[in-house]
Structure 1
Amino acid sequence: MLPAVLLLAGLFLLFHTTPGAPTAGKPITCEAGAFHIGEPASIDCNFRTNITASKRDISITWYTSEVDRGKDVLWCHWSVETKKHVCKIEMANYTFDGVFTEHLTIKIPAVTTEHGGWYKCFFIASDEIKAHPCELRLQAELISAKTGKNLLM
């Protein structure tokens, strides 16, 4: 009976100490900011665990409102064959350099009105609702016809 108990205890530890698994109390977060049209921008995701070691699929999703279902900007699948993430940019005008640590950054070479909204970074097949969104805000500009300078700055 004792070996069966040890086996069950070992299985419990195996499934609850998976390398790279997010720990309770450490939500996945992201940071964006406010940008003028035409400026470069980035969305920085903090997964708080080594993304590669997790061997889990991830997504960065863009939302235009709280009721929007969202659109994938970046989707990365863990490939068992290559033992690395295979990523695809799903929307135009975003770039990703393929670097994974606990952090991941997607870049926007030149912000347009299409980029404004909320972004979420999360592991697919996990509780997306717990991911903390960030907002990429568009800064308004009022250009002087006389001087060509932004009057709102």
Structure 2
Amino acid sequence: MGNITCLTALLITLLARGTSQQRVTCDAGQFKVGQNASVTCNFNHSVENTGHQISVMHYPFNASDRFSEKRILRCLRSNDLQPICEVAEGVLWNGNITDRLTLDIPDVTADFDGHYLCQLMPPDGMIMTVCSLTVEETPAQNSSIARSGSWTAFIIVTSTFFGLVAIPALILCIYIIW
């Protein structure tokens, strides 16, 4: 699954280059759970008042299929060139679009782990690029997850034992005694 996601991101990046003389770059990074994270789309010129449509998509690293993308930001331009923008829940944006657009993710969680696709759609085509945001879990969270996983495994083993061994043995003993 991870290979498919990486291959998709690479393909998108390769196809995006050379569509126009304009360029888009993307900056994200590596963050720990609970930190404030950000994704920045950089344009090589000011897109303010240009009429270009802009969107940012998220493709999780752990995606189960290729259709698990999520739209993080979408800006459409009205006739007077004022953007009409939608921002996903959990993401903050200050409303500024110049030669860059920055999305802030306060208290980042593993749900935001993945590839981010910045798209700029001028009238003559589409320009896009991909960057990755990695969210690391802290050791305390890993140990609590491990403890939780161990407890779950104990419950499963115990209930399986009673269901497959102890209860039939009890029924057999009762049958023999009667």
Using the size of structure 2 for normalisation, the TM-score is: 0.59
Counterparts in 2 of 1:40-119, with a 5 A limit? 40-65=36-61, 68-69=66-67, 70-81=69-80, 83-89=81-87, 91-119=88-116
In the other structure, the counterpart of 2:133 is: 136
Structure 1 residue identity aligned to 2:102: T
C-alpha displacement at 1:23, in angstroms?
5.1
What is the number of equivalent residue pairs in this alignment?
118
- Select 2:24's aligned residue among 16, 21, 28: 28
**Runs of 4 or more off by more than 3 Å in structure 1?**
124-128
Segments of 5+ residues of structure 1 without an aligned counterpart are 1-21, 145-153
Please report the RMSD computed on the Cα atoms of aligned residues, expressed in angstroms.
2.3
Cα distance in 1 between the residues matched to 2:121 and 2:70: 14
Q: Deviations over 1:4-47 (max 9, x none)?
A: xxxxxxxxxxxxxxxxxx951x4311100000101101101002
Q: Is the 8 A contact 1:37 1:110 kept in 2?
A: yes
Query: 2:41 touches 2:118 (CA, 8 Å); kept in 1?
Result: yes
Give the equivalent residue in structure 2 for 1:38: 34
1:52 touches 1:84 (CA, 8 Å); kept in 2? Answer: no
Identity among equivalent pairs (%): 27
Q: Where does the alignment leave 5 or more consecutive residues of structure 2 unmatched?
A: 1-18, 142-178
Q: Distance in 2 between matches of 1:139 and 1:61?
A: 21
SS at match of 1:143: helix
